[in-house]
Amino acid sequence: MGGVRIDLHTHSTVSDGTESPSELVAAAAEAELDVLAITDHDSTGGWAEATEASRRLGVTLVPGMEVSCRTAEGISVHVLSYLHDPTHPELLEEITKSKDARLSRAEHMVSLLAEDYPLSWDDVTRHVAPGATVGRPHIADALVAAGLVGDRTEAFATMLSSRSRYFVQHYAPEPARAVALIRAAGGVPVFAHPVASARGRTVAEPVYQEMIDAGLAGLEVFHRDNPEERRPFLMGLAAEHGLFVTGSSDYHGTGKPNRLGENMTAEDVLGEIERQGRGAAVVRS
């Protein structure tokens, strides 16, 4: 009990985290994690570097990704994928579309912000690593550098909120389609922070059902953005439909208060992910 420390949701500079994949693995070692999943937004670009670092630093690595999705109603949903084949053509095509759409969407948001604030696209790209998946956190970094907000959290509470007039949506596949594609690629799909209502609207039960029918494997119940009072609902769904439950930090380096290991996943759940994953292997140090 309480032996193995497993954190299955983290970001690097390959998306909107502030540490490179090897720095992320080093931070995991520092936080005394035994197992870390790297789950950058719509990209597996950090897997190779994280694999090398995990072998060197003695941290077991679960290669993963966080797939951006949107329902027909326009509600944002994130689906974590573990151990999928990173070369699977259809999944690759979908995440590439989302990644490209994120870029034009960020440019659009910056052009709207630039009408009211001294902010340029160059100010933003300075905070984006080459080839990284662009997100609002990068715009936040530019706002911080310009002295317009104190930190990313303040930017998200104000100008970058999904309720702000500067907010723009981007293309993303429907969640059930993403779940089916992840399965087709041999991956294990887990609904990330399903009831994170502070971020925007969250989905109702029919969307869970569609995702379950498409092959959903688990629910990320233990995540700081899931309000306590909504967790029994998630636990009930998991029990009813035979889904496993995970817990994770959603660490973004210095970009968010979330700390590595603040929520963790049980060892038997990791075993289940490893049994179901067919497209990539866990990297044992």
DSSP string, 55-100: HHHT-EEEEEEEEEEE-TT--EEEEEEES--TT-HHHHHHHHHHHH
> Mask of contacts with Fe ion, 58-97, x by CB under 5 A?
--------x-----------x-------------------
Residue type, 277: G
* Residue 152 lies near ligand AMP (rule: CB under 6 A): yes
Judge residue 244's burial from the number of C-beta atoms within 10 Å of its C-beta, 0-12 exposed, 13-18 middle, 19 or more buried: buried
Least spacing, CB of residue 136 vs ligand AMP, in Å: 4
Q: Which of 5, 6, 9, 16 binds ligand AMP (CB under 6 A)?
A: 16
Which of 43, 256, 270, 273 binds ligand AMP (CB under 6 A)? It is 256
Q: Is 276 helix (H, G, I), strand (E, B) or coil?
A: helix
In this chain, which of 88, 99, 127, 136 binds ligand AMP, going by CB under 6 A? 136
**Smallest gap from residue 192 Cβ to Fe ion (A):** 5
If the CB atoms of residues 69 and 283 are measured against ligand AMP, the closer one turns out to be 69
The residue among 61 and 128 lying less far from ligand AMP, judged by its C-beta, is: 128
Q: Is 135 in the site for ligand AMP (CB under 6 A)?
A: yes
**Window 5-34: residues binding Zn ion (CB under 5 A):** 11, 16
Which residues inside 241-260 make contact with Fe ion, applying CB under 5 A? 250
Angle 22-259-48 (CA atoms, 0-180°, nearest 5)?
20
Strand, coil or helix: 263: coil
Q: How far is CA 84 from the centre of its chain?
A: 15
Calpha distance 256→38 (Å, rounded): 16
Residue nearest to ligand AMP as judged by C-beta position: 135
> Is the Cα torsion angle 195, 169, 107, 12 positive or negative in sign?
positive
Provide the 10 A C-beta neighbour count for residue 222. Answer: 19
Helix axes 89-114 and 136-145, enclosed angle (nearest 10): 30
- Interatomic CA distance for residues 277 and 270, integer angstroms: 10
Candidate ranges 117-125, 151-159, 205-213, 229-237; the one touching ligand AMP (CB under 6 A): 151-159
Shortest Å distance, C-beta 64 to Fe ion: 10
- Please, which residue, 10 or 265, has the CB nearer to ligand AMP? 10
Contact with ligand AMP (CB under 6 A) among 137, 194, 218, 261: 137
Binding site for ligand AMP (CB under 6 A): 16, 41, 135-137, 152-153, 156, 250, 252, 255-256
Binding site for Zn ion (CB under 5 A): 11, 16
